[in-house]
Amino acid sequence: MLWPVDLELARGEAVALLGHNGSGKSTLLRLAAGRDRPTAGLVRFDGAPMDEDDPTVRARVAVVGDALACYPDLTARQHLELVAVGHGVPDGEAAVDAALTAHGLVGRAEALPTELSSGQLQELLLAAALLRPHDLLLLDEPEQRLDPAARERLAGALAARRSAGATLLFATHHRELARAVADRVLLLDNGHVVAEGAPERVLAE
Ligand SMILES: Nc1ncnc2c1ncn2[C@@H]1O[C@H](COP(=O)(O)OP(=O)(O)OP(=O)(O)O)[C@@H](O)[C@H]1O
């Protein structure tokens, strides 16, 4: 349950959603992704109503959610190759190799999803989202199941995306990730936005 939220992201802005379990972060992200429809109000992307099935949205918005969207018979490398081909990533093979390296998956490239640890699986989902072209990145607790070193790599990767001009909206339980990546933080409580502003200010409250 989410109470009315008025949220506008500027192009290239990174916004972190913080709050306790059940505060509404995932709900807001699913609405932002056009995956769920609000009972009132409207979600727009570049002026048009947000719809996850819209080809423009599919081409420009990358989502990392809770669902482990994996094919049981494809290896980690094949998953990334599929993403690279599907999204026309230039120099796909090299991009896949770079993604495997960046996500600590080089030694697990030929493993099936069931052979990956939960943290490696999360790395694969992140690698797939970051590999494909995107203007907007929506991530629900991208740090989940990652060890501290991988979390730090993630913070670097997301900060690099923002520097490259992508717009980011992500939910996190890690203040360090919000501090390292976000321009703005929204603190949610019981479906309400209870604080909003620069990370240092909101996190100090
Ligand atoms: N599909 C649903 N149907 C009904 N209620 C739901 C549904 N999904 C979430 N809720 C409720 O909406 C509220 C917000 O849940 P949400 O999953 O958005 O919280 P969250 O901040 O992402 O929590 P967490 O940190 O545990 O992931 C909770 O009270 C939850 O029980």
Report pLDDT for 76. 97
Ligand 1: centre distance to CA 194 (Å):
17
**Residue 88 domain-assigned?**
yes
Q: Is 186 exposed, middle or buried (0-12, 13-18, 19+ CB in 10 A)?
A: buried
- Domain with 95, as residue range(s), is 14-204
| Number of domains into which the chain is organized | 1
| ipTM confidence score | 0.90
Between strands 167-171 and 14-19, the pairing is parallel
**Residue 46 domain-assigned?**
yes
Q: How confident is the model at residue 192 (pLDDT cuts 50, 70, 90)?
A: very high
**Residue 6 domain-assigned?**
no
Q: How confident is the model at residue 75 (pLDDT cuts 50, 70, 90)?
A: very high
Ligand 1: centre distance to CA 201 (Å):
26
What residues does ligand 1 touch, defined as CB less than 6 Å away?
1, 19, 21-27, 171
Ligand 1: centre distance to CA 28 (Å):
9
Among residues 151, 194, 149, 148, which one has the least CA distance to residue 170?
A: 151
Smallest CA separation from ligand 1 atom 18, residue = 24
Report pLDDT for 205. 78
**Residue 19 domain-assigned?**
yes
Report pLDDT for 106. 97
Nearest-atom number in ligand 1 for the CA of 27 is 18
Where do we find the tokens 């604080």? 195
The residue-averaged pLDDT of 126-149 equals 96
Ligand 1: centre distance to CA 37 (Å):
15
pLDDT digit string, tens, across residues 41-51: 999 999 899 98
Which region, left, alpha or beta, applies to residue 63 given φ > 0 means left and ψ of -120 to 50 means alpha?
beta
**Residue 83 domain-assigned?**
yes
What is each CA distance from 136 to 10, 39, 61, 139, 170, in whole angstroms? 11, 24, 5, 10, 11
Alpha-carbon torsion 191, 195, 198, 201, what sign?
A: negative
The residue-averaged pLDDT of 109-136 equals 95
Q: Name the DSSP class of 118.
A: H
Smallest CA separation from ligand 1 atom 10, residue = 1
Q: Provide the mean pLDDT of the chain.
A: 94
Nearest-atom number in ligand 1 for the CA of 20 is 25
Highest mean pLDDT among 57-66, 67-76, 171-180: 171-180
The residue-averaged pLDDT of 85-89 equals 94
The residue-averaged pLDDT of 142-149 equals 96
pLDDT digit string, tens, across residues 30-39: 999 998 999 9
Residue 52 reports pLDDT greater than 80: yes
**Residue 191 domain-assigned?**
yes
**Residue 4 domain-assigned?**
no
CATH of the domain at 135: 3.40.50.300
Between strands 48-49 and 44-45, the pairing is antiparallel
